[in-house]
């Protein structure tokens, strides 16, 4: 398991991807623990767009930054399928205008951490076996259906057979109730996706976002997939959840190269 860098105020506040990545690939996955924000954003909220006090968000981001060896490139995520270079995202963030995108990538020699904020949507971290390229993607159901993972893999410019993927904490299959629009977005075009949906009646389903991500990755040629065991909704004490709480904070999943 990769180790986060720096000192941690709360030993339970941070996690790392448990996957066989190269030694020069590092990850950081935050929880809701270890920050200073007050309810309903308690406590390590890094989302600047959710109504939290800007100074609290800034201090929380500073706490997270202490755990990362490279500056974190936060995005303005819009459930799009747009992918940009993390260096571009970092420049935009430093100028005060975060770039609109839902995935970013970084190559060897670029001093930046790819990052995705979530509170139920699926963060996907990717790297290649050689440790030359990393990426992070925001894979909510709209992004998954639209091809955000395929676009991210294409942007990495390495063979999909050489890519490892880690599925970070997201809404689990026991909690993700959806309507016919979500079912149709996947199943009308890809019958195999039906296996990721459980019919619970009244034209509603329980959807497995982890299974949908694995299907998208496999279709893109990525078969080394890890993670995908958490539930942000049910693990109330550990994770923010928009589906559960409405107004809430955001976690961040980041990946970078030495």
pLDDT in tens, 104-155: 999 999 999 999 999 999 999 999 999 999 999 999 999 999 999 999 999 9
> What pLDDT shows up at residue 162?
98
Domain membership of residue 214 (yes or no) is no
Closest CA to 150 of 73, 224, 213, 192: 213
- Rounded to an integer, the average pLDDT of 78-105 is 97
Q: What are phi and psi of 76, to 5 degrees?
A: -95, 100
pLDDT tens-digit profile of 159-197? Answer: 999 999 999 999 999 999 999 999 999 999 899 999 999
The residue ranges of DSSP E strands in 31-81, in sequence order, are 72-73
Q: What are phi and psi of 49, to 5 degrees?
A: -110, 10
- Rounded to an integer, the average pLDDT of 4-31 is 82
CA dist 154 and 129 (Å) reads 16
Which residues constitute the domain of residue 121? 14-171+224-257
Closest CA to 48 of 2, 93, 105, 101: 93
Residue with more model confidence, 36 or 8: 36
Domain membership of residue 184 (yes or no) is no
- Rounded to an integer, the average pLDDT of 14-43 is 97
Domain membership of residue 155 (yes or no) is yes
Domain membership of residue 149 (yes or no) is yes
Domain membership of residue 50 (yes or no) is yes
> What pLDDT shows up at residue 198?
98
* Whether residue 12 has pLDDT greater than 80: yes
pLDDT tens-digit profile of 40-50? Answer: 999 999 999 99
Domain membership of residue 118 (yes or no) is yes
Domain membership of residue 188 (yes or no) is no
* Whether residue 2 has pLDDT greater than 60: no
What is the radius of gyration, based on Cα positions, of the chain? 17
Domains in the chain, number: 1
Non-local CB neighbours of 65 within 8 Å, separated by 6+ positions: 71, 72
- CATH assignment at residue 149: 3.60.140.10
* Whether residue 85 has pLDDT greater than 60: yes
H and E: helices and strands count for the chain: 7, 14
Non-local CB neighbours of 150 within 8 Å, separated by 6+ positions: 216, 219, 220
> What pLDDT shows up at residue 10?
63
**Strand pairing report for 72-73 and 113-118:** parallel
* Whether residue 84 has pLDDT greater than 80: yes
Domain membership of residue 203 (yes or no) is no
Q: Kindly report the average pLDDT of the chain as a whole number.
A: 95
Contact between 115 and 252 (Cβ < 8 Å): yes
């Amino acid at each position: 398991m990769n180790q986060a860098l720096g000192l941690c105020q709360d030993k339970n506040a941070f996690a790392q991807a448990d996957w066989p990545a190269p030694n020069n690939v590092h990850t950081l996955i935050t929880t809701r623990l270890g920050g200073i924000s007050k309810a309903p954003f308690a406590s390590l909220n890094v989302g600047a767009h959710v109504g939290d006090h800007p100074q609290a968000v800034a201090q929380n981001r500073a706490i997270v930054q202490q755990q990362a060896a490279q500056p974190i490139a936060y995005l303005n995520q819009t459930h799009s399928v747009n992918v940009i270079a993390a260096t571009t995202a970092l420049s935009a963030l430093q100028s005060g205008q975060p770039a609109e995108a839902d995935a970013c990538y970084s190559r060897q020699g670029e001093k930046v951490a790819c990052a995705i904020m979530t509170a139920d949507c699926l963060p996907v971290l990717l790297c290649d076996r050689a440790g030359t390229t990393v990426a992070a993607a925001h894979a909510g159901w709209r992004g998954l259906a639209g091809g955000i993972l395929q676009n991210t893999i294409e942007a990495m410019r390495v063979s999909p057979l050489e890519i490892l993927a880690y599925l970070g904490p997201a809404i689990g299959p026991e909690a993700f109730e959806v309507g016919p629009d979500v079912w149709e977005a996947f199943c009308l075009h890809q019958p195999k996706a039906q296996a990721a949906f459980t019919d619970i009646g009244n034209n509603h389903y329980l959807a497995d976002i982890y299974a949908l991500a694995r299907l998208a990755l496999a279709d893109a040629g990525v078969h080394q997939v890890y993670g995908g065991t958490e539930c942000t909704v049910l693990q109330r004490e550990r994770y923010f959840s928009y589906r559960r709480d409405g107004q809430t904070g955001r976690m961040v999943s980041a990946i970078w190269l030495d």
